[in-house]
Amino acid sequence: MKKLVLSLLMALCLVAGVNAQSKIAHVNTAELMNAMPEMKEFEEKLKAHENLLRKQLEEMQNELQTNYYAYLNDTISPDAVMEIKKKKLEDLQANIQQFAQTAEQEMTKKKETLYLPIYNKAKTAISEVAKAKGYDYVLDSSEGLGVLVVQPANDIINDVKKKLGIN
């Protein structure tokens, strides 16, 4: 029993010794990502795609409005024709709602598609700098992510920016 307790105590000391040697750094990934030149292109492409979808939606809404006013001002068509026109207006409105939902999903996918390569580039650079500097862990010190206290000496953002060629 004494040997078991002694063995456990030695194992704990060994683990504590290994943990004491871990080096931890931090980097504000939000700041890093905003400093990357690719983010400007990302924002431009995303805005252009959003404008394209918005223009299509506005065209559909204008068509609905035009058809609605034509429906309201039609005083000579028989009831059967008016019912058909009413049904077409309802269908057009449903298409607009469906398009708006699809456009929102498409924007989310487009954002992910454009953002992922930039994020991966930053993550790779962070990993390479951490490895070169001998850090075992790198925490994200962006605001709101739970890191409460950081030491400026352990901030590797300038090294990562240098690795990425950002001034």
Low pLDDT (below 50) residues in the chain: 1-2, 4-9, 11-14
Which structural domain, as residue segments, surrounds residue 143? Answer: 21-164
Unique residue bearing structure tokens 């559909």: 60
- Asked, for residue 11, whether it belongs to a domain, the answer is no
- Asked, for residue 10, whether it belongs to a domain, the answer is no
- Asked, for residue 86, whether it belongs to a domain, the answer is yes
Q: Which residues pair with 27 in a beta bridge?
A: 140
- Asked, for residue 9, whether it belongs to a domain, the answer is no
pLDDT, tens digit, for every residue of 113-148? 999 999 999 999 999 999 999 999 999 888 877 777
How many domains would you assign to the chain? Answer: 1
CATH code of the domain covering residue 66 = 3.30.910
Select from 166, 19, 84, 135 the least CA-distant residue to 156: 135
- Asked, for residue 2, whether it belongs to a domain, the answer is no
- Asked, for residue 6, whether it belongs to a domain, the answer is no
Predicted pLDDT of residue 5 = 38
Full-model pTM = 0.70
CB 160 within 8 A of CB 129: yes
- Asked, for residue 14, whether it belongs to a domain, the answer is no
- Asked, for residue 5, whether it belongs to a domain, the answer is no
Torsion-angle region of 146 (φ positive above 0: left; ψ -120 to 50: alpha; else: beta):
left
Predicted pLDDT of residue 20 = 54
Select from 43, 18, 11 the least CA-distant residue to 118: 43
Rounded Cα–Cα distance for residues 14 and 21 (Å): 11
